[in-house]
């Protein structure tokens, strides 16, 4: 097992960091000012995207891209440090066409779209000419269990008709969002098993009956691209807008999440690294009671704990990326459990590391003058996004219990029973 990046990945990593320093950071204040003024996306975004594409820093995430599709074809392990670098600046991934939820949607379309669907949606997504959203969660049912979903799709002649309500749909308020990938319950699903009752439908945002009801603030934070509530009222699309097979939506949704979680976790680790870097710098520069904060034992402990926890988390995420790269050559259940584990670890990490950094910064840490408050809020949201911690812990536990069940009794030799004490074995030559 070797987590060292390939020479190409190393080179791209250096170029990406240099690009961010040279072109993105100088625009950071302008980005926030534009968003606050409601001028989203800021006018310079398209110029930065064009520049990134020209420099070959485009679609860095998808290993299975075809020869005629733009991108670098890095494996998951090689992409991970790039995601970490982009994570430091939350608006950076869009510049490189590596932003959620489009990355996950691109993966879905890449695997399951028909040639006509590829031409209509995948090509413009890979080109960065449009954005998309993934609509699964619903206000009326516990959406951490997608078998509950109630938005229905029924077949009517050559059409599919959708009705229901979705919410927290990230990206749906982006002015360039043209496509919703909607996970629905099949109206004729009564006899299908709970994992074969759902289908995915490609719904253009401007289809009559689609209504963006509101952009829901998250912990009072207003995301310009939106986490939207969407009403679908008798939304009618042609039957060829079905993505994949009828009834295969649940399995496709599961497949979508693996690489996306590695991306999220590595971006989180990037934010934690930045938080630690800022905190350590502040601790060295700020003096209280006659000495720098960095001389206080508790501050040193916070810094050390953050360093240790970030490095532990990174290794775990890289291992998950490596497992994903191995595909079916490794135990797929182990990969799933590992991907579930990193989601829990990264979200918790972000809250702890950023919380310590905010404390070191004092009141400034809670202001918008540093990225810490936004990072901390995001860390809290991460504990629910893509499924709550508890559901991921359940997956990890189930895998572990399955392994234990398969090898029940294997570790019995480690017991020290009264029988063994009474009759210890004798070594024979
Ligand atoms: C910022 C943000 C962005 C999001 N973006 C999207 C998006 O783009 N598309 C989309 O479809 N959804 C999105 N979501 C929604 C997110 O996926 C759901 O909130 C999540 O899956 C949980 O569903 P729920 O809110 O219905 O919670 P529920 O399913 O009602 O669960 C509530 C709580 O019950 C507990 N629980 C549930 N199951 C178990 C279990 N098995 N064991 C123990 N406890 C359990 C957990 O503590 C959980 O937090 C987003 C959410 C946020 C906050």
**Alpha-carbon gap, residue 49 to 37, rounded angstroms:** 21
- Tell me the pLDDT tens digit for each residue of 25-64: 999 999 999 999 999 999 999 999 999 999 999 999 999 9
The number of beta carbons lying within 10 Å of the beta carbon of residue 97 is 24
Distance from Cα 218 to the centre of ligand 1, integer Å: 13
Task: DSSP for 81-122, please give it.
Answer: HHHHHHHTSTTHHHHTT--TTHHHHHHHHHHH--HHHIIIII
CA angle 108, 111, 115 (to 5 degrees): 105
- Both structure tokens of 105: 């949607």
Phi, psi (degrees; rounded to nearest 5) at 66: -80, 165
**Alpha-carbon gap, residue 43 to 25, rounded angstroms:** 16
Distance from Cα 385 to the centre of ligand 1, integer Å: 6
CA angle 104, 312, 60 (to 5 degrees): 30
Q: Of the residues 133, 142, 203, 393, which should be mutated to test ligand 1's pocket, given the most ligand atoms within 8 Å of the CB?
A: 142
> Tokens 């918790």 map to which residue?
348
Cβ-based burial of 101 (10 A; exposed 0-12, middle 13-18, buried ≥19): buried
**Alpha-carbon gap, residue 61 to 67, rounded angstroms:** 15
For residue 181, what are the β-bridge partners?
Answer: 134, 202
Q: Could you tell me the pTM of the whole model?
A: 0.95
Q: Of the residues 165, 168, 185, 205, which should be mutated to test ligand 1's pocket, given the most ligand atoms within 8 Å of the CB?
A: 168
- Tell me the pLDDT tens digit for each residue of 113-126: 999 999 999 999 99
Domains in the chain with CATH codes:
7-113 (1.10.540.10), 131-243 (2.40.110.10), 250-406 (1.20.140.10)
State residue 257's pLDDT score.
Answer: 78
Distance from Cα 381 to the centre of ligand 1, integer Å: 10
Distance from Cα 116 to the centre of ligand 1, integer Å: 33
Distance from Cα 269 to the centre of ligand 1, integer Å: 22
Nearest to 241 by CA among 184, 168, 197, 173: 184
State residue 1's pLDDT score.
Answer: 85
- Residue spans of the chain under pLDDT 70: 429
State residue 166's pLDDT score.
Answer: 98
Distance from Cα 137 to the centre of ligand 1, integer Å: 7
Nearest to 344 by CA among 424, 410, 264, 413: 264
Distance from Cα 347 to the centre of ligand 1, integer Å: 14
Distance from Cα 193 to the centre of ligand 1, integer Å: 23
Q: Of the residues 141, 142, 144, which should be mutated to test ligand 1's pocket, given the most ligand atoms within 8 Å of the CB?
A: 144
State residue 50's pLDDT score.
Answer: 98
Of ligand 1's atoms, which has the minimum distance to the CA of residue 141?
Answer: 26
Distance from Cα 387 to the centre of ligand 1, integer Å: 5
306 neighbors 379 (Cβ within 8 angstroms): no
Residue with CA nearest ligand 1 atom 25: 143
Of ligand 1's atoms, which has the minimum distance to the CA of residue 381?
Answer: 53
| Residue 75 DSSP symbol | -
Nearest to 59 by CA among 124, 6, 4: 124
Of ligand 1's atoms, which has the minimum distance to the CA of residue 133?
Answer: 8
State residue 136's pLDDT score.
Answer: 97
**Alpha-carbon gap, residue 62 to 70, rounded angstroms:** 10
Name residues contacting ligand 1 (CB within 6 A).
101, 134-137, 142-144, 168-170, 218, 227, 381, 384-388, 390-391, 394
> Tokens 């028909």 map to which residue?
114
Of ligand 1's atoms, which has the minimum distance to the CA of residue 218?
Answer: 1
Q: Of the residues 264, 388, 390, 391, which should be mutated to test ligand 1's pocket, given the most ligand atoms within 8 Å of the CB?
A: 388
State residue 429's pLDDT score.
Answer: 64
**Alpha-carbon gap, residue 250 to 220, rounded angstroms:** 32
Half-sphere CA count of 12, side-chain side, radius 13 A: 28
């Amino acid at each position: 097992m070797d987590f060292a990046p390939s020479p190409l990945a190393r080179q791209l990593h250096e170029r990406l960091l240099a690009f961010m320093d040279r072109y993105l950071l100088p625009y950071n204040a302008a980005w926030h000012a534009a968003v606050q003024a409601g001028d989203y996306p800021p006018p310079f975004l398209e110029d930065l995207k064009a520049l990134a594409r020209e420099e070959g820093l485009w679609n860095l995430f998808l290993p299975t891209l075809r020869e005629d599709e733009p991108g670098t074809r890095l494996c998951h392990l090689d992409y991970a440090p790039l995601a970490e670098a982009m994570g430091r600046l939350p608006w950076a991934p869009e510049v490189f066409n590596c932003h959620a939820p489009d990355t996950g949607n691109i993966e879905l379309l890449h695997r399951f779209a028909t040639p006509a669907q590829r031409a209509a949606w995948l090509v413009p997504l890979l080109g960065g000419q449009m954005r998309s959203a993934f609509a699964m969660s619903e206000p009326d049912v516990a959406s951490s269990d997608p078998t509950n979903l109630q938005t229905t799709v029924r077949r009517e002649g050559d059409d599919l008709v959708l009705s229901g309500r979705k919410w927290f749909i990230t990206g749906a308020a982006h002015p360039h969002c043209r496509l919703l990938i909607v996970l629905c319950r099949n109206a004729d699903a009564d006899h299908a098993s709970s994992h074969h009752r759902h289908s995915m439908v490609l719904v253009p945002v401007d289809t009559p009956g689609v209504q963006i009801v509101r952009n829901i603030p998250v912990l009072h934070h207003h995301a310009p691209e939106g986490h939207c509530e969407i009403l679908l009222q008798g939304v009618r699309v042609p039957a060829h807008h079905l993505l994949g097979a009828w009834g295969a939506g649940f399995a496709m949704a599961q497949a979508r999440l693996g690489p996306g979680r590695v991306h999220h976790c590595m971006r989180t680790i990037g934010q934690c690294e930045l938080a630690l870097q800022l905190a350590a710098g502040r601790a060295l520069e700020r003096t209280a009671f006659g000495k720098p904060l960095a001389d206080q034992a508790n501050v040193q402990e916070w810094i050390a704990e953050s360093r240790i926890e970030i490095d532990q988390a990174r290794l775990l995420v890289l291992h998950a990326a490596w497992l994903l790269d191995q595909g079916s050559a490794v135990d797929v259940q182990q990969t799933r459990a590992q991907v579930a584990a990193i989601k829990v670890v990264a979200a918790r990490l972000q809250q702890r590391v950023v919380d310590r950094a905010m404390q070191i910064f004092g009141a400034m840490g809670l202001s918008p003058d540093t990225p810490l408050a936004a990072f901390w809020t995001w860390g809290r949201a991460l504990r629910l996004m893509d499924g709550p911690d508890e559901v991921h812990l359940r997956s990890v536990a189930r895998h572990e219990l399955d392994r234990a069940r398969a090898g029940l009794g294997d570790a019995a030799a480690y017991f020290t029973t009264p029988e063994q004490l009474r009759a210890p074995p004798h070594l024979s030559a």
